[in-house]
Each structure stands twice: as structure tokens, then as C-alpha cells.
């Protein structure tokens, strides 16, 4: 991670040197965290799209991933359905009542992307830090 760890420091400059080192480390950790969030969310989007029902028009084509929020130390990405097709998401994911009675079969697809994130985000982040 660090290329220059060994250097001579006077005692009165020790606090400043330690703080600089911690700041560099913090910047690297945040950068790797954001990279991991990007990679995992992209993969979660692919998994969600793969598990989406095929015969629902262009619903599957409109599954996208975007950055919902980003600051200096945080990044949030979301898998969503664009172009007004989002209205079908809950109905497809959970199933729904039919006009003439009965229910449709549920097609859980966001669940698979969510499970992937929960299982792999921390693992991949730890691996990047090593």
C-alpha cells in the first residue's frame, strides 16, 4: 500500500507524520470501498436482469444500476427499473391478485441481486484491502 514508510522524523513532528500516514491509509480504504461497491452493484444488476421474467415486454431491458449518493467517504448504488416499467417490479417480485380471483405466480428477481450483495460485498472488500 505505502511505498515510503521509512523516514526520519523529529519527535515534535511525530504527531503530524502519524496523522499524514493515517490520512493516506484512509483515502486508500475509501477508494477501494467505492471500487468494491461499483463492482458488486454492477454484478447484482446482471444477476437481477438474468432472473427477471422474460415475457414481460421490455421490462428486463430497463433494469439498470446507478449511483444514488456519493460523498467523500460513502457511495450508494441502486438497481432499479427505468422508463416507467418500475411499476411492475413489486407485482412481479411478490405476485398479485387477479381480477377474476386467484393470484399470479411471484417472479423474485431483485431478491437474487440483493442476496448476492449481502453475501459478497464484505468478502470482496476485505480481499481488496489485503
> CA–CA separation, 45 vs 116, rounded Å?
10
Q: Which pLDDT does position 11 carry in this prediction? A: 79
State the pTM of this model.
0.80
CB 9 within 8 A of CB 102: no
Q: Which pLDDT does position 105 carry in this prediction? A: 92
Q: Which pLDDT does position 15 carry in this prediction? A: 87
Cell numbers 417480485: residue: 93
Q: What is the pLDDT along the chain (130 residues), one digit of tens a residue?
A: 455 556 677 777 888 888 888 888 889 999 999 999 999 999 999 999 999 987 666 889 999 999 999 999 999 999 999 988 888 899 999 999 999 999 999 999 999 999 999 999 999 999 998 8
Q: Which pLDDT does position 113 carry in this prediction? A: 95
Q: Which pLDDT does position 56 carry in this prediction? A: 65
- Please give the distance of CA 120 from its chain centroid, rounded to a whole number: 10
Amino acid at each position: 500500500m505505502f511505498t515510503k514508510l521509512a523516514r526520519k522524523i523529529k519527535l515534535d513532528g511525530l504527531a503530524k507524520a502519524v496523522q499524514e500516514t493515517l490520512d493516506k491509509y484512509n483515502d486508500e480504504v475509501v477508494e477501494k470501498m467505492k471500487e468494491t461497491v461499483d463492482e458488486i452493484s454492477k454484478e447484482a444488476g446482471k444477476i437481477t436482469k438474468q432472473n427477471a421474467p422474460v415475457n414481460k415486454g421490455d421490462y428486463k431491458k430497463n433494469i439498470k444500476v446507478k449511483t444514488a449518493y456519493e460523498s467523500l467517504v460513502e457511495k450508494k448504488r441502486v438497481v432499479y427499473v427505468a422508463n416507467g416499467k418500475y411499476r411492475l417490479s413489486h407485482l412481479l417480485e411478490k405476485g398479485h391478485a387477479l381480477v377474476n380471483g386467484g393470484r399470479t405466480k411471484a417472479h423474485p428477481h431483485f431478491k437474487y441481486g440483493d442476496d448476492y450483495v449481502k453475501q459478497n460485498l464484505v468478502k470482496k472488500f476485505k480481499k481488496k484491502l489485503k
